[in-house]
Amino acid sequence: MEQDLLVITNLKNELIYQYCAADKEDKKTQLLLLAYASLDIFKEVRAEQTQYFYYSIDKFMYHNVSLLLMPSGYKIVFVHEWKDRDWVFGLLKTIHSIFLKVSSFL
């Protein structure tokens, strides 16, 4: 998990939250670029599928990009190296529930 990136975006894909476990600035930039490039792919995938969790909508080298679409239209984008789909889904659901609690105070 040393190279993972978690991003939450609003309806306009503006950054709401970001956490990156990479320690080098160029790696953080690369992961963020991959996350945002995947949002374009998500538009195409979303037109064909009506689910709210997307495991590996994009790949780059050994990274997968997974996405959880919240009912509000906000997106949790996770750039990761994890292979366990259920684990990634569970993590993003947990983050979603925490986000709901925190956002009610904003």
Q: Where are the alpha helices (DSSP H) in 1-83?
A: 25-48
pLDDT in tens, 47-76: 566 678 888 777 788 899 999 999 988 999
Residue 39 — pLDDT band, cuts 50, 70, 90?
confident
Per-residue confidence (pLDDT) for residue 85, from 0 to 100: 92
Per-residue confidence (pLDDT) for residue 93, from 0 to 100: 96
Share of the chain above pLDDT 70, in %: 91
User: Among 29-33, 35-39, 79-83, 101-105, whose mean pLDDT is lowest?
Assistant: 101-105
Cα 58 to the chain's mean position, in Å?
A: 11
Identity at 5, one-letter amino acid code: L
Name the token pair of 47: 């037109």
Identity at 29, one-letter amino acid code: T
Per-residue confidence (pLDDT) for residue 50, from 0 to 100: 67
How far apart are the C-alpha atoms of 60 and 105, rounded to whole Å?
Answer: 36
Structural domains in the chain, sorted by start: 5-103 (3.30.450.70)
**Sign of CA pseudo-dihedral 72, 85, 81, 56:** negative
Q: In the predicted model, is pLDDT for residue 1 greater than 60?
A: no
More confident residue, 106 or 39: 39
Identity at 63, one-letter amino acid code: H
Residues 6+ apart with CB under 8 A from 16: 8, 9, 10, 74
How far apart are the C-alpha atoms of 78 and 9, rounded to whole Å?
Answer: 11
Q: What is the mean pLDDT of residues 36-46?
A: 79
